[in-house]
Amino acid sequence: MNEAQVLRFSRHVLLREVGGRGQERLLAATVVVAGAGPVGQAAAVYLASHGVGRLRVAGGEGALEESDLQAAPLAARPSIGVRSESQAEGRSPGRNWPSAFDALAQAVRRADPEVRVEAVSGALDLGAADALLVAGLREAEAGPLLEAARREGRTAVLALAARYAAAVAVLPAGGACHRCLGLRMEAGWPGEGGWPFGVAAGLAGALAAVEVTKAVLGMGGTAGAAAGRAARGRLLLFEVDGLTLEERDLEPRGDCPACGGGGPTPGASPCG
Amino acid sequence: MSYVRAKLTLESMAAGEVLELTIAGGEHLENVPRSAEADGHRVLGVEEEIPGERYRMFIRRGADPWV
């Protein structure tokens, strides 16, 4: 770390579980954020604040709308006549609202201008990524990404918000797969239960940033029950209306159509 | 920032090596040894150089730091 970084992250350095080496790991890390909506924006800002050096962001090409602001307060409201970055580059014609990606990038730069934020288009390459965060995507979009992360042996964090609920699942390679998670949710895939109450999206993003940061640092329990939970997977459910936080251990399910309880076979096609 | 810089130096050392550092008096004299012990290092001693102003502290790097 240079002098500016020592000052910037001195409080992290003081934490036993982070220290100088952990902070350097974060500064060198690349995190792929799939989903640039309100959940992804909140997560990206906290990841930037934590010092993650590079964020590769997939999605978010479409312009924001007025109604998005209730769950995306980090997005700067555009001035009339001001064009967003992507509009200036000719990627999106004639609207004054920034794209979700531009809103995310602007918020990240406010948090830390040193963080590299890149838009990813086309196939998502997890090759150089230290962690994958799937933020606010529906199962049809999230599933293939989570399958790819498992095939490549990477821990993925899934963050979703619906109505008054924020859900964050940590899915380590070899543990429960996302289909096991879906089967455990009595009401089905948690992200498809309706638009989130504003702060629920931010909570999902913030909680997800914690879990991604821990994955990069190698935290999450090194012994006993904590290590077992970290290896199998965890689900955090925050209900905003009742102010309750529930944690569930995720177990691979024997009746899971994707992994059959043994975790997906590397290279296998995902089950429908 | 006193312990931050000491901690960064300790992380670069091998377990069992001893760091000698000069610190100011006042709150640093309390905070640095407390933080070092909490991180698993051992404070071997403190010598007074200029009473109330400057001290030399010796810290043995712990064998099992988290990182």
What is the pTM assigned to this prediction? 0.84
The pLDDT assigned to A229 comes to 60
Q: Does A8 touch chain B (CB under 8 A)?
A: no
Measured distance CA(B37)–CA(A223) in Å, rounded: 22
Single out the residue of A12, A106, A73 nearest to residue A205, CA to CA. A73
Spell out which residues of chain B touch residue A12, defining contact as CB-CB under 8 Å.
Answer: none
User: A179 versus A77: which is more confidently predicted?
Assistant: A179
Percent of chain A scoring above 90 in pLDDT: 36
The mean of the pLDDT values for chain A is 81
User: Which candidate from A1, A7, A21 shows the least CB-CB separation from B67?
Assistant: A21
Query: Which is more confident, A248 or A220?
Result: A248
CB pairs under 8 A between A and B: 36
Alpha carbons A170 and A189: distance in angstroms, whole number: 15
Instruction: Report d(CA A218, CA A1) in Å as an integer.
Output: 19
pLDDT at site A177: 84
Higher pLDDT, A170 or A91: A170
Asked if residue A44 lies in contact with residue A204, where contact means CB atoms within 8 angstroms, the answer is no
* CA distance linking residue A245 with residue A185, whole number of Å: 16
DSSP state for residue A67 in the 8-state scheme: G
Residue A20's pLDDT is 94
Q: What residues in A contact B38, CB-CB < 8 Å?
A: 16
What confidence score (pLDDT) does residue A228 get?
A: 54
Indicate whether A186 pLDDT > 60: no
Specify the pLDDT at position A67.
78
Q: Which of A87-96, A146-155, A262-271, B18-27 comes out lowest in average pLDDT? A: A262-271
The C-alpha atoms of residue A194 and residue A211 are separated, in whole angstroms, by 24
Write the burial class of residue B52 (CB in 10 Å: 0-12 exposed, 13-18 middle, 19+ buried).
exposed
Closest CA–CA distance from residue A205 to any residue of chain B (Å): 26
Cα A68 to the center of its chain, rounded Å: 19
Q: Could you tell me which residue, A256 or A192, shows the higher pLDDT?
A: A256
Pick from A120, A160, A118, A168: nearest CA to A138: A160
Choose among A101, A129, A107, A122: nearest CA to A35: A101
pLDDT at A11 over 90: yes
Cα separation of A169 and A183, whole Å? 13
Q: Which residues are registered as beta bridge partners of B20?
A: B58
Q: What is the C-alpha to C-alpha distance for residues A35 and A61, in angstroms, rounded to an integer?
A: 10
Which tens digits make up the pLDDT trace of A14-38? 998 899 999 999 999 999 999 999 9
Taken in order A231, A21, A56, A76, the sign of the CA dihedral is positive
The CA distance from A269 to A271, in Å, is: 6
Residue found under tokens 């978010």: A60
User: Across residues A174-183, what is the average pLDDT?
Assistant: 77
Asked if B22 contacts B49 with a C-beta cutoff of 8 angstroms, the reply is: yes
Distance from CA of B27 to the nearest CA of A (A): 16
User: Residue A23: what pLDDT?
Assistant: 96
> Which of A 68-97 lie inside 8 A of B, CB atoms?
none
* Low-confidence residues in chain B, pLDDT < 70: 1, 64-67
Residue of A173, A129, A111 whose CA lies nearest to A34? A129
Q: What was the pLDDT predicted at A253?
A: 79
pLDDT tens digit string along A130-146?
999 999 888 888 888 88
Per-residue pLDDT at A91 = 53
> Which range (A86-100, A153-167, A230-244, B32-46) has the least confidence?
A86-100
Whether pLDDT at A118 is above 70: yes
Q: State how far the alpha carbon of A50 is from the alpha carbons of A45, A117, A145, in Å.
A: 9, 14, 24
Residue B26 CB contacts under 8 Å (≥ 6 apart), including other chains: none
Mean pLDDT of A173-192: 66
Minimum distance, in Å, between the CA of residue A112 and any CA atom of chain B: 21
- According to the model, what pLDDT value does residue A79 have? 55
Which residues in chain A touch residue B5, judged by CB atoms under 8 angstroms apart?
6
Interface test with A, best of B1, B3, B7, B8 (most A CBs within 10 A): B8
Residue A172: its pLDDT value, please? 85
- At A35-91, the pLDDT tens digits run 999 999 999 999 999 999 999 999 888 878 777 778 877 776 665 445 556 555 655
What confidence category does residue A187 fall into, taking pLDDT thresholds of 50, 70 and 90?
very low
Buried b (16+ CB within 10 A) or exposed e, A65-87: eeebbebbbbbeebeeeeebebb
User: Does A201 have pLDDT greater than 80?
Assistant: yes
Cβ distance of B67 and A6 shorter than 8 Å: no
Contact check, Cβ <8 Å, B39/A18: no
The radius of gyration of chain A from alpha carbons, rounded to an integer in Å, stands at 18
